[in-house]
Structure 1
Amino acid sequence: MKKRPSNLIYILPNLFTAASIFSGVFSIISAVGGNFEKAAWLIMLSLIFDGLDGRIARLTNSCSKFGVEFDSLADMVAFGVAPALLMYLFVGQEFGRFGVVASALFVIFGAIRLARFNVMTMSSEPSVFIGVPIPAAAVFISLLVLLFQKYGFHDDYGIVIVLLSILVSILMVSNIRYPSFKKVDLSPKHAMKLFVVILFVFFFIFMFPIEGFALMFIIYILYGLIRAAMLLPKRVIKK
Protein backbone atom coordinates (compact mmCIF):
# COMPACT_ATOMS: atom_id res chain seq x y z
CA MET A 1 0.00 0.00 0.00
CA LYS A 2 2.86 2.37 0.73
CA LYS A 3 4.29 2.00 -2.77
CA ARG A 4 1.22 3.31 -4.59
CA PRO A 5 1.72 7.03 -3.89
CA SER A 6 5.34 6.85 -5.07
CA ASN A 7 4.29 5.04 -8.24
CA LEU A 8 1.63 7.67 -8.94
CA ILE A 9 4.13 10.47 -8.35
CA TYR A 10 6.54 8.75 -10.72
CA ILE A 11 3.85 8.63 -13.42
CA LEU A 12 2.70 12.25 -13.02
CA PRO A 13 5.61 14.05 -14.77
CA ASN A 14 5.54 11.48 -17.56
CA LEU A 15 1.87 12.31 -18.17
CA PHE A 16 2.87 15.92 -18.88
CA THR A 17 5.61 14.65 -21.20
CA ALA A 18 3.01 12.55 -23.03
CA ALA A 19 0.79 15.64 -23.26
CA SER A 20 3.69 17.49 -24.88
CA ILE A 21 4.00 14.73 -27.48
CA PHE A 22 0.25 14.79 -28.10
CA SER A 23 0.32 18.56 -28.67
CA GLY A 24 3.25 18.13 -31.05
CA VAL A 25 1.48 15.42 -33.06
CA PHE A 26 -1.72 17.49 -33.09
CA SER A 27 0.36 20.43 -34.37
CA ILE A 28 1.73 18.29 -37.21
CA ILE A 29 -1.77 17.14 -38.17
CA SER A 30 -3.03 20.75 -38.08
CA ALA A 31 -0.14 21.96 -40.25
CA VAL A 32 -0.77 19.20 -42.82
CA GLY A 33 -4.43 20.29 -42.82
CA GLY A 34 -3.40 23.88 -43.56
CA ASN A 35 -4.35 25.28 -40.15
CA PHE A 36 -1.00 26.95 -39.49
CA GLU A 37 -2.19 29.25 -36.72
CA LYS A 38 -3.52 26.32 -34.69
CA ALA A 39 -0.35 24.34 -35.36
CA ALA A 40 1.81 27.20 -34.08
CA TRP A 41 -0.18 27.64 -30.86
CA LEU A 42 -0.07 23.89 -30.21
CA ILE A 43 3.74 24.01 -30.27
CA MET A 44 3.58 26.75 -27.66
CA LEU A 45 1.24 24.55 -25.61
CA SER A 46 3.86 21.81 -25.81
CA LEU A 47 6.32 24.28 -24.30
CA ILE A 48 4.07 24.64 -21.25
CA PHE A 49 3.79 20.88 -20.79
CA ASP A 50 7.53 20.50 -21.30
CA GLY A 51 8.21 23.06 -18.59
CA LEU A 52 5.80 21.42 -16.17
CA ASP A 53 7.07 17.85 -16.45
CA GLY A 54 10.59 18.67 -15.31
CA ARG A 55 9.50 20.95 -12.50
CA ILE A 56 6.98 18.44 -11.17
CA ALA A 57 9.63 15.70 -11.31
CA ARG A 58 12.01 17.84 -9.25
CA LEU A 59 9.35 18.95 -6.77
CA THR A 60 8.16 15.39 -6.19
CA ASN A 61 11.70 13.98 -6.26
CA SER A 62 10.66 11.56 -9.01
CA CYS A 63 13.40 12.26 -11.56
CA SER A 64 14.54 9.15 -13.41
CA LYS A 65 16.69 8.12 -16.34
CA PHE A 66 13.54 6.93 -18.10
CA GLY A 67 11.98 10.36 -17.62
CA VAL A 68 15.04 12.07 -19.11
CA GLU A 69 15.02 9.85 -22.19
CA PHE A 70 11.24 10.13 -22.58
CA ASP A 71 11.48 13.92 -22.35
CA SER A 72 14.16 14.03 -25.06
CA LEU A 73 12.03 11.93 -27.41
CA ALA A 74 9.05 14.19 -26.68
CA ASP A 75 11.15 17.27 -27.48
CA MET A 76 12.22 15.71 -30.78
CA VAL A 77 8.57 15.41 -31.83
CA ALA A 78 7.12 18.62 -30.39
CA PHE A 79 10.10 20.94 -30.92
CA GLY A 80 11.95 19.24 -33.76
CA VAL A 81 9.62 17.65 -36.29
CA ALA A 82 6.51 19.79 -35.61
CA PRO A 83 8.09 23.26 -36.15
CA ALA A 84 10.20 22.02 -39.09
CA LEU A 85 7.10 20.69 -40.85
CA LEU A 86 5.15 23.84 -39.95
CA MET A 87 7.84 26.03 -41.48
CA TYR A 88 8.07 23.88 -44.60
CA LEU A 89 4.33 23.72 -45.27
CA PHE A 90 3.87 27.42 -44.47
CA VAL A 91 6.61 28.85 -46.72
CA GLY A 92 9.45 26.34 -47.21
CA GLN A 93 7.82 24.31 -49.98
CA GLU A 94 7.84 27.42 -52.17
CA PHE A 95 11.65 27.23 -52.32
CA GLY A 96 11.95 23.63 -53.47
CA ARG A 97 14.97 21.71 -52.25
CA PHE A 98 16.27 24.69 -50.29
CA GLY A 99 13.10 24.54 -48.17
CA VAL A 100 13.60 20.81 -47.62
CA VAL A 101 17.21 21.37 -46.53
CA ALA A 102 16.18 24.14 -44.12
CA SER A 103 13.54 21.90 -42.52
CA ALA A 104 15.90 18.93 -42.32
CA LEU A 105 18.67 21.04 -40.75
CA PHE A 106 16.30 22.15 -38.00
CA VAL A 107 15.45 18.54 -37.11
CA ILE A 108 19.03 17.24 -37.39
CA PHE A 109 20.62 20.09 -35.41
CA GLY A 110 17.77 19.86 -32.90
CA ALA A 111 18.59 16.17 -32.36
CA ILE A 112 22.29 17.03 -31.92
CA ARG A 113 21.33 19.76 -29.45
CA LEU A 114 19.29 17.32 -27.36
CA ALA A 115 21.98 14.64 -27.43
CA ARG A 116 24.66 17.12 -26.39
CA PHE A 117 22.47 18.47 -23.60
CA ASN A 118 21.87 14.99 -22.19
CA VAL A 119 25.55 14.08 -22.34
CA MET A 120 26.84 17.34 -20.84
CA THR A 121 24.34 17.90 -18.04
CA MET A 122 23.70 14.35 -16.81
CA SER A 123 21.56 14.85 -13.69
CA SER A 124 22.72 18.38 -12.84
CA GLU A 125 20.73 21.50 -13.63
CA PRO A 126 22.65 23.99 -15.81
CA SER A 127 22.74 27.68 -14.92
CA VAL A 128 23.18 28.46 -18.63
CA PHE A 129 22.43 26.63 -21.86
CA ILE A 130 25.17 26.00 -24.42
CA GLY A 131 23.37 26.90 -27.63
CA VAL A 132 19.74 27.88 -28.04
CA PRO A 133 17.46 25.30 -26.35
CA ILE A 134 15.35 23.42 -28.90
CA PRO A 135 12.03 24.49 -27.26
CA ALA A 136 13.02 28.17 -27.62
CA ALA A 137 14.01 27.61 -31.26
CA ALA A 138 10.72 25.82 -31.97
CA VAL A 139 8.56 28.53 -30.38
CA PHE A 140 10.58 31.18 -32.22
CA ILE A 141 9.66 29.55 -35.55
CA SER A 142 6.03 29.21 -34.45
CA LEU A 143 5.81 32.89 -33.53
CA LEU A 144 7.33 33.90 -36.86
CA VAL A 145 4.60 31.93 -38.60
CA LEU A 146 1.92 33.64 -36.48
CA LEU A 147 3.39 37.10 -37.14
CA PHE A 148 3.83 36.61 -40.87
CA GLN A 149 0.34 35.15 -41.25
CA LYS A 150 -1.25 37.95 -39.24
CA TYR A 151 0.38 40.72 -41.27
CA GLY A 152 0.53 38.88 -44.61
CA PHE A 153 4.33 39.02 -44.85
CA HIS A 154 4.67 35.41 -45.99
CA ASP A 155 3.54 36.25 -49.53
CA ASP A 156 6.53 38.49 -50.19
CA TYR A 157 9.00 37.73 -47.41
CA GLY A 158 8.63 33.99 -46.83
CA ILE A 159 12.36 33.55 -47.41
CA VAL A 160 12.98 35.42 -44.16
CA ILE A 161 11.40 32.60 -42.11
CA VAL A 162 13.45 30.01 -43.99
CA LEU A 163 16.70 31.90 -43.39
CA LEU A 164 15.89 32.55 -39.74
CA SER A 165 15.09 28.87 -39.24
CA ILE A 166 18.58 28.05 -40.56
CA LEU A 167 20.05 30.66 -38.21
CA VAL A 168 18.39 29.22 -35.08
CA SER A 169 19.34 25.71 -36.26
CA ILE A 170 22.99 26.77 -36.24
CA LEU A 171 22.56 28.55 -32.91
CA MET A 172 21.25 25.31 -31.37
CA VAL A 173 24.58 23.58 -31.99
CA SER A 174 26.72 26.64 -31.31
CA ASN A 175 28.72 27.32 -28.14
CA ILE A 176 26.88 30.58 -27.49
CA ARG A 177 25.52 30.70 -23.94
CA TYR A 178 21.89 31.44 -23.11
CA PRO A 179 20.27 31.90 -19.68
CA SER A 180 18.29 28.91 -18.41
CA PHE A 181 16.07 30.76 -15.85
CA LYS A 182 16.05 27.57 -13.76
CA LYS A 183 17.91 29.24 -10.92
CA VAL A 184 16.21 32.62 -10.69
CA ASP A 185 17.05 34.60 -7.57
CA LEU A 186 13.75 34.81 -5.63
CA SER A 187 15.21 36.46 -2.53
CA PRO A 188 13.21 39.38 -1.02
CA LYS A 189 15.82 41.77 -2.44
CA HIS A 190 14.96 40.84 -6.05
CA ALA A 191 11.41 39.50 -5.68
CA MET A 192 9.69 42.90 -5.99
CA LYS A 193 11.70 43.87 -9.09
CA LEU A 194 10.88 40.52 -10.68
CA PHE A 195 7.20 40.95 -9.80
CA VAL A 196 7.07 44.38 -11.48
CA VAL A 197 8.81 43.09 -14.61
CA ILE A 198 6.47 40.08 -14.85
CA LEU A 199 3.46 42.36 -14.37
CA PHE A 200 4.48 44.64 -17.25
CA VAL A 201 5.24 41.64 -19.48
CA PHE A 202 1.86 40.10 -18.64
CA PHE A 203 -0.07 43.27 -19.53
CA PHE A 204 1.88 43.72 -22.77
CA ILE A 205 1.20 40.12 -23.82
CA PHE A 206 -2.45 40.53 -22.82
CA MET A 207 -2.79 43.49 -25.20
CA PHE A 208 -0.60 42.09 -27.98
CA PRO A 209 -0.35 38.28 -27.56
CA ILE A 210 1.53 37.37 -30.74
CA GLU A 211 3.71 40.46 -30.81
CA GLY A 212 4.44 40.20 -27.08
CA PHE A 213 5.57 36.58 -27.18
CA ALA A 214 7.51 37.20 -30.40
CA LEU A 215 9.37 40.14 -28.85
CA MET A 216 10.32 38.04 -25.81
CA PHE A 217 11.83 35.26 -27.89
CA ILE A 218 13.51 37.63 -30.36
CA ILE A 219 15.21 39.37 -27.41
CA TYR A 220 16.23 35.98 -26.02
CA ILE A 221 17.78 34.90 -29.34
CA LEU A 222 19.53 38.25 -29.80
CA TYR A 223 20.80 38.27 -26.21
CA GLY A 224 23.13 35.35 -26.82
CA LEU A 225 24.39 36.76 -30.12
CA ILE A 226 25.04 40.24 -28.70
CA ARG A 227 26.69 38.84 -25.57
CA ALA A 228 28.94 36.60 -27.68
CA ALA A 229 29.87 39.54 -29.93
CA MET A 230 30.77 41.69 -26.91
CA LEU A 231 32.95 38.95 -25.37
CA LEU A 232 34.72 38.11 -28.64
CA PRO A 233 37.32 40.96 -28.46
CA LYS A 234 38.30 39.87 -24.91
CA ARG A 235 38.82 36.28 -26.05
CA VAL A 236 40.91 37.45 -29.01
CA ILE A 237 43.12 39.59 -26.71
CA LYS A 238 43.66 36.64 -24.32
CA LYS A 239 44.83 34.46 -27.21
Structure 2
Amino acid sequence: MAGGRPFHLISILPNLFTAASIFTGVVAIVSAIHGKFEKSAWLIFLSLVFDALDGRIARLTHTTSRFGVEFDSLADLVAFGVAPALLFYFFAGHEFGRLGILVMALYIIFGAIRLARFNVMSPHTDPSVFIGVPIPAAAIFVSIWILMFVQYEALQPYSWVLPGAVLLVSLLMVSNIRYPSFKKINLERPALTKTLIALIIVASLIYLFPVEGLALGITLYVGWGVGRAARTVMTRRGR
Protein backbone atom coordinates (compact mmCIF):
# COMPACT_ATOMS: atom_id res chain seq x y z
CA MET A 1 0.00 0.00 0.00
CA ALA A 2 1.58 3.24 -1.18
CA GLY A 3 2.44 5.80 1.47
CA GLY A 4 1.74 3.39 4.36
CA ARG A 5 3.25 0.46 6.14
CA PRO A 6 3.49 -2.68 3.99
CA PHE A 7 1.16 -5.47 5.04
CA HIS A 8 2.72 -8.86 5.70
CA LEU A 9 0.45 -11.87 6.00
CA ILE A 10 2.79 -13.41 8.56
CA SER A 11 1.99 -10.57 10.97
CA ILE A 12 -1.51 -11.97 11.56
CA LEU A 13 -0.36 -15.59 11.98
CA PRO A 14 0.02 -15.42 15.80
CA ASN A 15 -3.46 -13.87 16.09
CA LEU A 16 -4.90 -16.74 14.03
CA PHE A 17 -3.60 -19.18 16.64
CA THR A 18 -5.12 -16.99 19.36
CA ALA A 19 -8.44 -17.05 17.51
CA ALA A 20 -8.13 -20.85 17.25
CA SER A 21 -7.70 -20.99 21.03
CA ILE A 22 -10.94 -19.03 21.48
CA PHE A 23 -12.76 -21.23 18.95
CA THR A 24 -11.76 -24.48 20.64
CA GLY A 25 -12.69 -22.94 23.99
CA VAL A 26 -16.16 -22.11 22.68
CA VAL A 27 -16.58 -25.64 21.28
CA ALA A 28 -15.48 -26.97 24.69
CA ILE A 29 -18.26 -24.91 26.30
CA VAL A 30 -20.86 -26.24 23.87
CA SER A 31 -19.62 -29.80 24.46
CA ALA A 32 -19.94 -29.37 28.24
CA ILE A 33 -23.48 -28.04 27.86
CA HIS A 34 -24.42 -31.15 25.88
CA GLY A 35 -22.85 -33.48 28.44
CA LYS A 36 -19.79 -34.40 26.37
CA PHE A 37 -17.42 -33.84 29.26
CA GLU A 38 -14.47 -35.84 28.00
CA LYS A 39 -14.52 -34.04 24.65
CA SER A 40 -14.81 -30.69 26.42
CA ALA A 41 -11.80 -31.39 28.62
CA TRP A 42 -9.58 -32.43 25.70
CA LEU A 43 -10.65 -29.36 23.73
CA ILE A 44 -9.44 -27.19 26.62
CA PHE A 45 -6.09 -28.96 26.30
CA LEU A 46 -6.12 -28.21 22.57
CA SER A 47 -6.72 -24.54 23.39
CA LEU A 48 -3.62 -24.72 25.55
CA VAL A 49 -1.60 -25.92 22.54
CA PHE A 50 -2.80 -23.00 20.42
CA ASP A 51 -2.12 -20.61 23.31
CA ALA A 52 1.44 -21.90 23.63
CA LEU A 53 2.05 -21.52 19.90
CA ASP A 54 0.76 -17.98 19.37
CA GLY A 55 3.33 -16.28 21.61
CA ARG A 56 6.23 -18.36 20.35
CA ILE A 57 5.31 -17.72 16.72
CA ALA A 58 5.00 -14.00 17.43
CA ARG A 59 8.50 -13.94 18.92
CA LEU A 60 10.00 -16.05 16.13
CA THR A 61 8.46 -13.85 13.41
CA HIS A 62 9.11 -10.60 15.33
CA THR A 63 5.40 -9.71 15.14
CA THR A 64 4.72 -9.14 18.83
CA SER A 65 2.34 -6.26 19.51
CA ARG A 66 0.26 -4.73 22.26
CA PHE A 67 -2.87 -5.81 20.39
CA GLY A 68 -1.62 -9.40 20.40
CA VAL A 69 -1.03 -9.29 24.17
CA GLU A 70 -4.55 -7.99 24.88
CA PHE A 71 -6.13 -10.41 22.40
CA ASP A 72 -4.28 -13.30 24.04
CA SER A 73 -5.58 -12.31 27.49
CA LEU A 74 -9.17 -12.24 26.24
CA ALA A 75 -8.64 -15.64 24.61
CA ASP A 76 -7.27 -17.03 27.87
CA LEU A 77 -10.34 -15.83 29.76
CA VAL A 78 -12.60 -17.72 27.35
CA ALA A 79 -10.55 -20.91 26.95
CA PHE A 80 -9.11 -21.22 30.46
CA GLY A 81 -11.65 -19.24 32.47
CA VAL A 82 -15.17 -19.68 31.13
CA ALA A 83 -14.70 -23.10 29.49
CA PRO A 84 -13.35 -25.04 32.54
CA ALA A 85 -15.77 -23.23 34.86
CA LEU A 86 -18.76 -24.35 32.78
CA LEU A 87 -17.26 -27.82 32.40
CA PHE A 88 -17.16 -28.06 36.20
CA TYR A 89 -20.69 -26.69 36.56
CA PHE A 90 -22.36 -29.02 34.08
CA PHE A 91 -20.37 -32.04 35.27
CA ALA A 92 -20.87 -31.65 39.03
CA GLY A 93 -21.43 -28.04 40.10
CA HIS A 94 -25.16 -27.97 39.28
CA GLU A 95 -25.72 -30.66 41.92
CA PHE A 96 -24.73 -28.17 44.64
CA GLY A 97 -27.26 -25.45 43.79
CA ARG A 98 -26.15 -21.92 44.59
CA LEU A 99 -22.80 -23.14 45.90
CA GLY A 100 -21.99 -24.63 42.50
CA ILE A 101 -22.94 -21.38 40.76
CA LEU A 102 -20.83 -19.38 43.22
CA VAL A 103 -17.75 -21.58 42.75
CA MET A 104 -18.13 -21.39 38.96
CA ALA A 105 -18.47 -17.59 39.06
CA LEU A 106 -15.53 -17.12 41.45
CA TYR A 107 -13.29 -19.21 39.20
CA ILE A 108 -14.08 -16.93 36.24
CA ILE A 109 -13.78 -13.71 38.29
CA PHE A 110 -10.49 -14.70 39.92
CA GLY A 111 -9.21 -15.89 36.54
CA ALA A 112 -9.94 -12.45 35.09
CA ILE A 113 -8.19 -10.79 38.04
CA ARG A 114 -5.21 -13.12 37.55
CA LEU A 115 -4.91 -12.15 33.88
CA ALA A 116 -5.25 -8.43 34.59
CA ARG A 117 -2.65 -8.60 37.36
CA PHE A 118 -0.27 -10.53 35.13
CA ASN A 119 -0.52 -7.92 32.36
CA VAL A 120 0.22 -5.14 34.83
CA MET A 121 2.99 -6.89 36.77
CA SER A 122 4.79 -8.91 34.08
CA PRO A 123 7.18 -6.12 32.96
CA HIS A 124 8.39 -5.77 36.56
CA THR A 125 8.57 -9.38 37.78
CA ASP A 126 11.08 -12.19 37.42
CA PRO A 127 10.17 -14.13 34.23
CA SER A 128 11.23 -17.40 35.88
CA VAL A 129 8.28 -17.33 38.31
CA PHE A 130 4.55 -16.71 38.28
CA ILE A 131 2.81 -14.88 41.11
CA GLY A 132 -0.16 -17.16 41.76
CA VAL A 133 -1.20 -20.20 39.74
CA PRO A 134 -1.34 -19.27 36.02
CA ILE A 135 -4.84 -19.56 34.58
CA PRO A 136 -3.83 -22.22 31.98
CA ALA A 137 -2.49 -24.40 34.82
CA ALA A 138 -5.74 -23.88 36.75
CA ALA A 139 -7.72 -24.90 33.65
CA ILE A 140 -5.62 -28.06 33.28
CA PHE A 141 -6.14 -28.87 36.96
CA VAL A 142 -9.94 -28.59 36.69
CA SER A 143 -10.18 -30.38 33.34
CA ILE A 144 -7.88 -33.29 34.12
CA TRP A 145 -9.58 -34.08 37.42
CA ILE A 146 -12.96 -34.09 35.71
CA LEU A 147 -11.44 -36.52 33.20
CA MET A 148 -10.33 -38.66 36.12
CA PHE A 149 -13.89 -38.72 37.48
CA VAL A 150 -15.22 -39.58 34.02
CA GLN A 151 -12.69 -42.37 33.54
CA TYR A 152 -12.99 -43.93 37.00
CA GLU A 153 -16.53 -44.62 38.20
CA ALA A 154 -15.17 -45.39 41.67
CA LEU A 155 -14.39 -41.68 42.09
CA GLN A 156 -17.89 -40.45 41.25
CA PRO A 157 -19.29 -40.81 44.81
CA TYR A 158 -16.60 -38.33 45.84
CA SER A 159 -17.67 -35.61 43.40
CA TRP A 160 -18.33 -33.43 46.44
CA VAL A 161 -14.59 -32.68 46.57
CA LEU A 162 -14.68 -30.94 43.18
CA PRO A 163 -16.23 -27.64 44.37
CA GLY A 164 -13.57 -27.40 47.07
CA ALA A 165 -10.79 -28.19 44.60
CA VAL A 166 -12.04 -25.63 42.07
CA LEU A 167 -12.43 -23.00 44.80
CA LEU A 168 -8.92 -23.73 46.07
CA VAL A 169 -7.29 -23.34 42.66
CA SER A 170 -9.36 -20.17 42.11
CA LEU A 171 -7.93 -18.65 45.29
CA LEU A 172 -4.43 -19.77 44.35
CA MET A 173 -4.71 -17.85 41.07
CA VAL A 174 -5.01 -14.55 42.97
CA SER A 175 -2.58 -15.50 45.74
CA ASN A 176 0.98 -14.25 46.10
CA ILE A 177 2.37 -17.79 46.08
CA ARG A 178 5.19 -18.20 43.58
CA TYR A 179 5.20 -20.93 40.94
CA PRO A 180 7.93 -21.79 38.41
CA SER A 181 7.13 -20.53 34.92
CA PHE A 182 9.54 -22.81 32.99
CA LYS A 183 10.14 -19.91 30.60
CA LYS A 184 13.77 -19.93 31.62
CA ILE A 185 15.15 -23.40 32.18
CA ASN A 186 18.73 -23.66 33.39
CA LEU A 187 20.56 -25.62 30.70
CA GLU A 188 23.96 -25.32 32.33
CA ARG A 189 25.64 -28.44 33.67
CA PRO A 190 24.80 -30.21 35.98
CA ALA A 191 21.22 -28.84 35.82
CA LEU A 192 21.00 -29.95 32.17
CA THR A 193 21.24 -33.64 33.10
CA LYS A 194 18.70 -33.31 35.93
CA THR A 195 16.27 -31.42 33.69
CA LEU A 196 16.61 -34.01 30.93
CA ILE A 197 15.98 -36.91 33.32
CA ALA A 198 12.95 -35.17 34.82
CA LEU A 199 11.46 -34.48 31.38
CA ILE A 200 12.01 -38.10 30.29
CA ILE A 201 10.27 -39.41 33.42
CA VAL A 202 7.32 -37.04 32.99
CA ALA A 203 6.99 -37.86 29.28
CA SER A 204 7.12 -41.60 30.05
CA LEU A 205 4.36 -41.33 32.66
CA ILE A 206 2.15 -39.33 30.30
CA TYR A 207 2.77 -41.84 27.50
CA LEU A 208 1.84 -44.83 29.68
CA PHE A 209 -0.96 -43.16 31.62
CA PRO A 210 -2.08 -39.96 29.81
CA VAL A 211 -4.88 -38.87 32.15
CA GLU A 212 -3.30 -40.18 35.34
CA GLY A 213 0.13 -38.79 34.46
CA LEU A 214 -1.25 -35.34 33.70
CA ALA A 215 -3.37 -35.41 36.87
CA LEU A 216 -0.34 -36.30 38.97
CA GLY A 217 1.85 -33.69 37.28
CA ILE A 218 -0.55 -30.75 37.61
CA THR A 219 -1.49 -31.71 41.18
CA LEU A 220 2.18 -31.79 42.17
CA TYR A 221 2.68 -28.41 40.47
CA VAL A 222 -0.24 -26.81 42.33
CA GLY A 223 0.74 -28.47 45.59
CA TRP A 224 4.42 -27.54 45.22
CA GLY A 225 3.65 -23.83 45.51
CA VAL A 226 1.45 -24.33 48.57
CA GLY A 227 4.05 -26.56 50.22
CA ARG A 228 6.86 -24.10 49.49
CA ALA A 229 4.82 -21.20 50.90
CA ALA A 230 3.95 -23.20 54.04
CA ARG A 231 7.61 -24.09 54.57
CA THR A 232 8.61 -20.43 54.21
CA VAL A 233 6.03 -19.38 56.81
CA MET A 234 7.16 -22.07 59.24
CA THR A 235 10.80 -21.13 58.76
CA ARG A 236 10.05 -17.47 59.53
CA ARG A 237 8.08 -18.42 62.64
CA GLY A 238 10.94 -20.65 63.75
CA ARG A 239 13.33 -17.73 63.53
Output the TM-score relative to the length of structure 2: 0.93
2-structure distance, mates of 1:211, 1:42: 17
1-structure distance, mates of 2:28, 2:160: 22
2-structure distance, mates of 1:39, 1:79: 12
Report the AA paired with residue 87 of structure 2: L
Report the AA paired with residue 96 of structure 2: F
Aligned match of 2:113: 112
The structural deviation recorded for 1:124 is 7.3
- For residues 95-141 of structure 1, the C-alpha deviation after alignment (integer angstroms, 9 at most, x for no partner) is 10000001000000000000000011148772210000000001100
1-structure distance, mates of 2:125, 2:172: 22
Report the AA paired with residue 178 of structure 1: Y
The structural deviation recorded for 1:203 is 1.7
2-structure distance, mates of 1:94, 1:126: 40
Structure 1's unaligned 5+ residue stretches are none
Matched, 1:74 2:51: no
* Aligned partner of residue 179 in structure 2, secondary structure: strand
Aligned match of 1:161: 162
* Aligned partner of residue 191 in structure 1, secondary structure: helix
2-structure distance, mates of 1:104, 1:153: 28
Alpha carbons 1:130, 1:178 under 8 Å: kept: yes
Alpha carbons 1:106, 1:169 under 8 Å: kept: yes
Aligned match of 2:56: 55
Q: Sequence identity of aligned pairs in percent?
A: 58
Report the AA paired with residue 137 of structure 2: A
Alpha carbons 1:14, 1:67 under 8 Å: kept: yes
- For residues 76-104 of structure 1, the C-alpha deviation after alignment (integer angstroms, 9 at most, x for no partner) is 00000000000000000001000000100
2-structure distance, mates of 1:226, 1:218: 12
* Aligned partner of residue 160 in structure 2, secondary structure: helix
Aligned match of 1:203: 204
Aligned match of 2:176: 175
Residues 153 and 115 (structure 1), Cα distance of their counterparts in 2 relative to 1, 3 Å cut: farther
Structure 2's unaligned 5+ residue stretches are none
Aligned match of 1:152: 153
Report the AA paired with residue 205 of structure 2: F
2-structure distance, mates of 1:189, 1:60: 32
Give the number of equivalent residue pairs: 236
Residues 112 and 58 (structure 1), Cα distance of their counterparts in 2 relative to 1, 3 Å cut: same
Task: Compute the RMSD of aligned alpha carbons.
Answer: 1.9
